[in-house]
Chains A and B, each alone.
Chain A
Amino acid sequence: MNKVLLGLVLGAVLGAIDGATAWFTPAVRFEIMAIIFYSTIKGLIAGVLIGFFARKVNSLPLGILFGLAVGALLAFAVALMPDPTGQHYYVQIIVPGSLVGLIVGYATQRYGAAPATTPATR
């Protein structure tokens, strides 16, 4: 599986899981489907961006940092939106979102198949 596709799939799956854990917050439980949907989209976008980065830059530390940054940024954008009561959930959204970005960054660097022109390394 190439790096972009791996990032897309992993980002979407982890994004969906990330969104689903919102069920444990009763205040937002009623809109769980929307949360899962938008979290999946966020994860997908992050995954594609991180996958493209991994395609261009072959460096595990940089890939992890980039994933962390993209995940944090997108999660921050989501965390800026308050719930109907006006409460923000910065920690609950940004920390897991950053970690998802980190995981996708690692996976795309470590497991994604490089493009054909890139020489294989052992």
Chain B
Amino acid sequence: MIQEEFPSGGDRFPPTRRSVIEAVRSIDAEERESALEALCAAYWRPVYKYIRLRWNRAPDAAQDLTQGFFVELLERELLDKFDAKKSRLRTYLRLCVDSFVMNEDKAGRRQKRGGNIPHVALDFSAAEEELGATVIDPTKIASPESLEEFFEKEWVRGLFTLAVEELRELCIARERERTFHLFEAYDLQGNEKISYEQLSNEYGIPLTDVTNALAWARREFRKIALERLRELCGSEEEFHREARVAFGWDAK
């Protein structure tokens, strides 16, 4: 086996979790709920922002629609109709959102849906702030290509945000909080001028420690992000395609 011939230089890649597409169709209610949580955690932000921009809804209405969409996703088993060979999951979900909003408009429903999706914290005010921080040209948002692009970017942002949070929890669990701070300072804050030397001086640690810490953090972040992504894909081919998009490999 190649793994035996070429032993990994570091941590082994964790076992793959079951895809949410499969899990959401499970006969086990707990598994279904867990899958929906994962789906919601990954997609609620892009869905909310999409509804705000594409359908031009006020924040309150967009919140209702976002929550309503995920409830409908589960109740009407919309993912049963998803075919990984024909489209990407996120494209399918986006089109489902469009249908859902149009149907809600037709039905004239305005009732507030009760409660959040279980165990997923939907911080709509934070999402609203992020929307404000994002520079969007309203004249360009209307075209299908730009909508797809916008949804894609927000989906990547959501995926990476979840991965960063999971990395933070991992660092806390392993008592590597400083590692996370270094990662946050260098890779997350978008400061072009920061250097390894500056961090070394700031934290009073050798340069090699900064290098090693960042290498470890990036490695773990990548692993977590890919694992999360794999859960959200319906097939290996889709996973490869979506990984290329999420990590921008085709653009480089």
A–B touching in complex (CB under 8 Å)? no
Give the interface of B toward A (CB within 8 A).
none
